[in-house]
Amino acid sequence: MSRHLTNTEAENEAKAAQESLAARLVAIRRQLHANPELSHEEFQTTDWIRGWLEEAGVRILDYSLRTGVIAEIGGARPGPTIALRADIDALPVQEETGLPFASQKPGRMHACGHDYHTASLLGAAFLLKKRESELAGTVRLIFQPAEEKAHGALEVIESSALDGVDAIYGLHNKPDLPVGTIGIKEGPLMAAADGFVVKLEGTGSHAAVPEASVDPIVAGAHLIAALQTIVSRNVSPLQSAVISVTRIHSGTSWNVIPESALLDGTLRTFDEGVRALVKERFERITDGVAAAFGVKASVKWIQGPPAVNNDRVLSETAAIAARRVGLQVVVPAPSPAGEDFAFYQRAVPGAFFFMGTSGPHEWHHPAFDIDERALPLTAAFFARLAEDNLVQLGGKDALSSQDFASSQDESPNSIPNDTTV
Ligand code: NI
């Protein structure tokens, strides 16, 4: 006959289990942090994730991904499939934290905290595995490669790893939110991140004989100024957009008017209507300025991920799960950064959150860091959310009111390999 634990003994046992999970996740996060790998090069990271999952007895699924891991827990009881996603790649940044577990690779750093995302999702896997026989359906774990290039989510979707998923959740660390808080917001949370390249072609000449030229630099200067009027004059003050020209390339010498100029930059929007409006005005203004100055202009769009747009019902479910694990729920300000999680939300209902990590610096900073107390909290939240949502979705046919089939226009080939969002 088994001995019954007293309340105090049970509490002590639970506390010891929590502490041992926390210590394990810190060790995992530090191992990943010391060994960052860039997008599409996450081979060692992939091997380690597989190893940790296999050690815990978690099923690894076989999809045609070069890097990244898809795994699954549950399924003994029929029910829906909930996906939890973490990104696993690092950035081309030279680390300057001085931490004992700082990057061992020059010019490579987990400067966006994807090491913490990966470790947290592994923690959720360990927790869910212990409750596998009780899960009312299946939890699919997506360790996604190449988020920084905005390609990874599309590769996961192309590999069919999202097939059969009823809802998907993901999160990003948020340095300016304290540990113990989570930002949950329905609707737009992160921006559509598009790029542009404008080519202006004129006629070169001696710099002292400008009348013989059609100067692309003067045309470009006017164009840059005119493009700023899109946000100030065409976008409603109640909506938002960013247009930044970030690079100008033209000319070879101080005494030669060049033949052509290249301008590139980025466009950020939260609303598909604003995104379309800004692009339309951008092209009209470019054509108009080009006509005025007699240059030939072409605009090439680099289509990035659409805006992260959170499902209302799933956001509410997440807020309940967050409170159940002791997190304080706040409504976060949207971020104009891009996030390829948005591609999943085009395929299935999804919600994305900001988890407080009390960081000393913003994303991509060389001294970026997270407060590791966030690791077990995030693992517990992910696990709680998946388990609650399986129960909630079981027996429901329609998940949400959003029309996810409405805009499937994001082609996997539309983003170049050098895009970092
Ligand atoms: Ni990131």
Alpha-carbon gap, residue 45 to 36, rounded angstroms: 8
CA of 45 from ligand 1 middle (Å) equals 16
pLDDT in tens, 361-386: 999 999 999 999 999 999 999 999 99
Average pLDDT over all residues of the chain: 93
Report the alpha-carbon distance of residue 26 to residue 13 in Å, rounded. 20
CA of 64 to the centre of ligand 1 (A): 24
CA 113 to centroid of ligand 1, rounded, Å: 6
Whether the predicted pLDDT of 82 surpasses 90:
yes
pLDDT in the model for residue 407 = 34
What is the model's pLDDT at position 18?
87
Q: Predicted confidence band at 321 (pLDDT cuts at 50, 70, 90)?
A: very high
pTM surpassing 0.85? yes
pLDDT at 10: 82
Asked whether the predicted pLDDT for residue 399 surpasses 50, the reply is no
Give the distance (Å) from ligand 1 centre to CA of residue 396.
33
CA of 226 to the centre of ligand 1 (A): 32
Residue 414 has pLDDT above 70, yes or no: no
Residue 403 has pLDDT above 70, yes or no: no
Beta strands in 44-180 (DSSP E): 59-61, 69-74, 81-87, 138-144, 167-174
Strand partners, 87: 144
Report how far ligand 1's centroid is from the alpha carbon of 385 (Å): 21
Q: How far is the CA of 112 from the centre of ligand 1 (A)?
A: 4
- Where residue 412 falls among pLDDT bands split at 50, 70, 90? very low
CA of 110 from ligand 1 middle (Å) equals 9
Report whether 384 contacts 321 (CB < 8 A): yes
Residue bearing tokens 């409405």 = 406
Q: What is the whole-number distance in angstroms between the Cα of residue 93 and the centre of ligand 1?
A: 13
Q: Which residue has the higher pLDDT, 400 or 146?
A: 146
Owner of token pair 């076989």: 62
Contact by Cβ (8 Å): 348, 161: no
Q: Is the pLDDT of residue 401 over 60?
A: no
Distance 86 CA to ligand 1 centre (A): 10
Three-state DSSP state, 411: coil
Around 170, how many Cα atoms within 13 Å sit in the side-chain half-sphere?
Answer: 30
CA 307–ligand 1 middle distance (angstroms): 15
Tens of pLDDT, residues 177-225: 999 999 999 999 999 999 999 999 999 999 999 999 999 999 999 999 9
Q: Is the pLDDT at 299 greater than 80, yes or no?
A: yes
**Distance in Å, CA 121 to ligand 1 centroid:** 15
CA of 247 to the centre of ligand 1 (A): 23
Distance from the alpha carbon of residue 171 to the mean position of ligand 1, in angstroms: 9
List % helix, strand, coil for the chain (3-state, nearest 5): 35, 25, 40
Contact 73, 53 (CB under 8 A): no
Q: Examine the pLDDT at 143 and tell me if it is beyond 80.
A: yes
52: nearest Cα among 120, 117, 118, 122: 122
Q: Which amino acid is at 228?
A: Q
Domains of the chain with bracketed CATH: 7-190+307-410 (3.40.630.10), 192-302 (3.30.70.360)
Question: How far apart are the CA of 420 and the centre of ligand 1, in A?
Answer: 10
Cα(133) to centroid of ligand 1, in Å?
33
Q: What is the pLDDT of residue 417?
A: 43
- Measured CA to CA, the distance from residue 138 to residue 152 in angstroms comes to 23
Separation of CA 421 and ligand 1 centre (Å):
9
> Could you tell me the pLDDT band of residue 102, with boundaries at 50, 70 and 90?
very high
CA of 301 to the centre of ligand 1 (A): 23
pLDDT in tens, 243-273: 999 999 999 999 999 999 999 999 999 999 9
Check residue 405 and give its pLDDT.
34
Q: How confident is the model at residue 173 (pLDDT cuts 50, 70, 90)?
A: very high
Between 406 and 252, the higher pLDDT residue: 252
Query: Predicted confidence band at 8 (pLDDT cuts at 50, 70, 90)?
Result: confident
